[in-house]
Amino acid sequence: MRLSVIGCGYVGLVTGACLAEAGHDVICTDIDADRIAQLKAGQIPIYEQHLDKILVSAGKSGKISYTVDAGEAIRFGDAIFICVGTPPRPDGSADLSAIDHVAQQIAAEARSPKLVVEKSTVPARTGIELQRALSAYSRGNGGFRVASNPEFLREGTAVEDFFHPDRIVVGVEDPAAAEQLREIYRPILEHKFTCPVHDGKCPDTHKAEFLVTTISSAELIKHASNSFLALKISYANAVADLCEKLGANVEEVTHAMGLDPRIGTQFLKAGLGFGGFCFPKDIQAFISLAATVGVDFEILKAAERVNKQRIDRFFDKVSKALWVVKGKRVAILGLAFKANTDDIRFAPALDVMKRLLDEGAEVHACDPEALDKAKKQFPQAHYHGDPYSALEGAHAALVCTEWDVYKKIDWDRAGKLMARKLVVDGRNLYQPEKMKALGFEYFSFGRE
Ligand code: UGA
């Protein structure tokens, strides 16, 4: 099928690339002309595992192309995936102006009926408003059908998640739209693709469920899922605080809790809390949406509050350990909001960095992928690709992202390079006994 993707950010680029890899003819467009120029030149503007491989293969087979001309993109596809940003407004609600702008473009440029699919995370009822807007902007002549097809991709494993989803949710108003979307996802549902992640030897994953719902349900499913996961993390963090006070070990507690299948082991990892461009903004947008219809989502407000306090709790540990922060050389291990991505949006590490700089510390940060982005935001810090070089002469090492390479640090070697053997671990990567045996002052979450 011929498909158009509007917006070449994390969601749009992965969606476009994977749909092309699954056999469709895809055109991608973005208002950022530099981004399109980069893509045309074979450069990939984001770091996402396996994305480079599929963009190269889809480019060679002619399955994917890029254009700055939104009209060209709109006219090309039978279905148009809207993957533009929905950033938070000052009151926490989602800014839908980019979606509205795309609706105007579609209405003006389309020459045939289109299925318009919202993939961006949007509050419930956006689809209905989008349908209304398309009809108004085209003066009722467009013949547009609208569907919601939320994405559940995690950054870092987005390509794998696309080819091996738990569920594909399509919110539609008419059965024909559901059938068109089922056709688009048929290669995934019937496993008819060469898996770029497992080189053809995919693990025996269960089949994805194809769920057809109303548009509003589909939109709610996305917000309700992300908010629930965020809630789980904040719950684990509150339990961690309690463990510290009561002399228990949060890992023992959450592991045992998670063995109950009703709870599950995932998203119970205590530490610096959740960041990224999804959970913090989605939880805010969900609270704000609920308020507009008179529902006080108190439980989510608490989850948000617990998450914000993580940075204070972490910084308390750092400043108690260091006594005086001013003038200290501090190494930050990890800047990305989580491992395997270069994304630093709402990354807890950046809040930590800002506090350290404000207090007058000399910050030496390292990250395998996110250095360029962080440098632009905090030019006054020092940056290192190699963790041992960041740790040299440091009075403290602060672990902010759970990159594998930091799990494998040789702390015996690092300790000899550091000015003081002090580690404050925001991701509980190491065993306290082992670190203490190596002569480190070691602080983490929920395990004192
Ligand atoms: C999240 C969801 O997991 C995806 O399903 C969804 O599609 C995506 O948002 C989105 O809305 O686009 P993502 O933001 O990539 O994906 O990252 P996660 O792996 O969910 O992690 C989110 C944050 O929670 C990270 O900062 C991570 O470090 C933190 N986290 C995660 C914890 O602090 N503890 C945990 O146990 C798990």
**Segment 236-253, tens digit of pLDDT:** 999 999 999 999 999 999
256-300 per-position pLDDT tens digit: 999 999 999 999 999 999 999 999 999 999 999 999 999 999 999
Mutate to test the pocket of ligand 1, among 227, 233, 310, 342 (most ligand atoms within 8 A of CB): 233
Residue 154 CA, closest ligand 1 atom number: 15
363-407 per-position pLDDT tens digit: 999 999 999 999 999 999 999 999 999 999 999 999 999 999 999
The catalytic position among 18, 83, 278, 366 is: 278
pLDDT at 140 over 80: no
321-330 per-position pLDDT tens digit: 999 999 999 9
Q: Which residues line ligand 1 (CB under 6 A)?
A: 121, 151-155, 226, 229, 233, 267-269, 271, 273-276, 278-279, 337-338
* 284-312 burial: b if 16+ Cβ within 10 Å, else e: bbbbbbbeeeeeebeebeebbebbebbbe
Which run of H or E residues covers position 180? helix 175-189
Cα 374 to Cα 356: distance, rounded to the nearest angstrom: 15
SS3 343: coil
* 157-196 burial: b if 16+ Cβ within 10 Å, else e: bbbbbbbbbeebbbbbbeeebbebbeebbebbbeeebebb
Work out the mean pLDDT of the chain and round it to a whole number. Answer: 95
CA of 418 to the centre of ligand 1 (A): 32
Residue 53 identity (one-letter amino acid): K
Pair of tokens at residue 305: 């509050």
